[in-house]
């Protein structure tokens, strides 16, 4: 295994997958900078993403490899891929095809805000933010999601 | 357990921690939108972050709770906290105190780019991007990091 300084300051790509075989992928819109989604990749999803320039992920709930947009057409073209200091997280700057990235029909998966400053045991009530539907997920996914 | 539609469309905050007790936290600069870092929170780190409005995390390598900036002074004031559709990822929009968020001395942890379009078995050589040191980590952390 490479040492810490090589991982952090070196030029060898050595992605560190977790015990579950996955690495976290943060996905932003290359033009607006907006955070679209957080997903996970296994080694095969990462290989396919690098080779094709389109985003592939591993679904933890469906336990399978998936290409973003495979059923919706909402493909993500990867303009730049970055890795973080300890090489256990990836950042994809993408061009998002179609109106949105989220399977709920929103542009971004992060459409609810958590109130800050609450007493520790208070039940936290979320607030919608930028939560308008950009598309109808039932029509786009036909119940399959992607 | 809340059903899928309640988790995705409801207003009850129900963060889903992984088998390791952690949830992924994506941290961006509230002004520039720049991705600063990806970290993890356990329930206590999340509670402290919500109560104090300053970012607390759980270090997987050091196996301990830590307040960002506890040794460096590079505190992160949380301006907005969001949760994603399935409530297994958090987004912190922060004001980053000091010159940078990364323990290597950079503004952001994502200072290396992975080349795209390579043959699957080619060794991937990273390229530095925005990799100038914003501060001297040896001076700021005194070998402790945060």
What does the pLDDT read at residue A123?
Answer: 82
What does the pLDDT read at residue A2?
Answer: 67
Assign residue B125 a region (left: φ > 0; alpha: ψ between -120 and 50; beta: otherwise).
beta
Residues of A in contact with B28 (CB under 8 A): 35
Interface check for B30 against chain A (CB to CB < 8 A): the answer is no
Structural Rg of chain B based on CA atoms:
17
What does the pLDDT read at residue B81?
Answer: 98
What does the pLDDT read at residue B120?
Answer: 64
From the list A12, A82, A112, which residue is nearest B129 (CB)?
A82
- Tens digits of residue pLDDT in B41-72: 999 999 999 999 999 999 998 999 999 999 89
CA-CA distance, B134 to B118, in Å (whole number)? 32
Number of A–B residue contacts, CB under 8 Å:
140
Q: What is the DSSP letter of B20?
A: T
Mean pLDDT of A20-48: 97
Query: Which two three-digit tokens encode residue B73?
Result: 């002074």
- CA distances (Å), origin B121, targets A47, A88, A102, B69: 9, 20, 32, 40
C-alpha angle with apex A89: A84 to A93, nearest 5 degrees? Answer: 80
Residues of A in contact with B24 (CB under 8 A): 24, 38
Write a three-state SS string for chain A.
CCCHHHHHHCCECCCCCCCCCCEEEEEEECCCCCEEEEEEECHHHHHHHHHHCECEEEECCCCEEEECCCCCCCCEEEEEEEECCCCCEEEEEEEECCCCCCCCCCCCCCCEEECCCCCCCCCCECEECCCCCCCCHHHHHCCCCC
Interface check for A31 against chain B (CB to CB < 8 A): the answer is no
Q: Which residue is listed with tokens 């952001």?
A: B108
CA-CA distance, B62 to B57, in Å (whole number)? 11
End-to-end Cα distance, chain A: 35
Cβ neighbors of B25 (< 8 A, separation 6 or more) are B38, B39, B40, B41, B55, B57, B89, B90, B91, B92
Please give the residue of chain A at the shortest CA–CA distance from B80. A113
> At B38, is the secondary structure helix, strand, or coil?
strand
Banded model confidence at residue B145, pLDDT cuts 50, 70, 90: low
Cβ neighbors of B134 (< 8 A, separation 6 or more) are B99, B100, B105, B106, B107
Tell me whether residues A104 and B85 touch, CB distance under 8 A: yes
Interface check for A2 against chain B (CB to CB < 8 A): the answer is no
- Burial label for A31, CB within 10 Å (0-12, 13-18, 19+), is exposed
Tell me whether residues A38 and B53 touch, CB distance under 8 A: no
91-120 of B, contacting A, C-beta below 8 A: 91, 102-104, 106, 109-120
**How far does the CA of residue B69 sit from the closest CA of chain A (Å)?**
17
CA-CA distance, A37 to A111, in Å (whole number)? 11
Is pLDDT of B78 > 60? yes
> At B46, is the secondary structure helix, strand, or coil?
helix
Q: Are strands B23-29 and B127-128 parallel, antiparallel or unpaired?
A: unpaired
- Tens digits of residue pLDDT in A74-124: 999 999 999 999 999 999 999 999 999 999 999 999 999 999 997 766 789
- Tens digits of residue pLDDT in A36-63: 999 999 999 999 999 999 999 999 989 9
Task: Phi first, then psi: give them for residue A116, nearest 5 degrees.
Answer: -105, 160
- Tens digits of residue pLDDT in B90-118: 999 999 999 999 999 999 999 999 999 97
């Amino acid at each position: 295994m490479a040492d810490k300084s090589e991982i952090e300051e070196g030029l060898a790509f050595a992605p560190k997958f977790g015990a579950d075989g996955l690495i976290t992928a943060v996905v932003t819109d290359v033009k607006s900078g907006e955070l679209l989604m957080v997903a996970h990749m296994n080694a095969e999803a990462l290989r396919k993403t690098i080779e094709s320039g389109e985003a592939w992920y591993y679904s933890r709930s469906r336990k399978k490899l998936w290409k973003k947009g495979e059923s919706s057409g909402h493909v993500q073209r990867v303009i730049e891929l970055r890795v973080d200091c300890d090489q256990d997280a990836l950042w994809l700057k993408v061009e998002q095809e179609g109106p949105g990235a989220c399977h709920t029909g929103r542009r971004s998966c992060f459409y609810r805000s958590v109130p800050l400053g609450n007493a520790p045991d208070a039940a936290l009530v979320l607030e919608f933010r930028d939560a308008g539907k950009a598309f109808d997920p039932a029509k786009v996914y036909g119940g399959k999601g992607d």
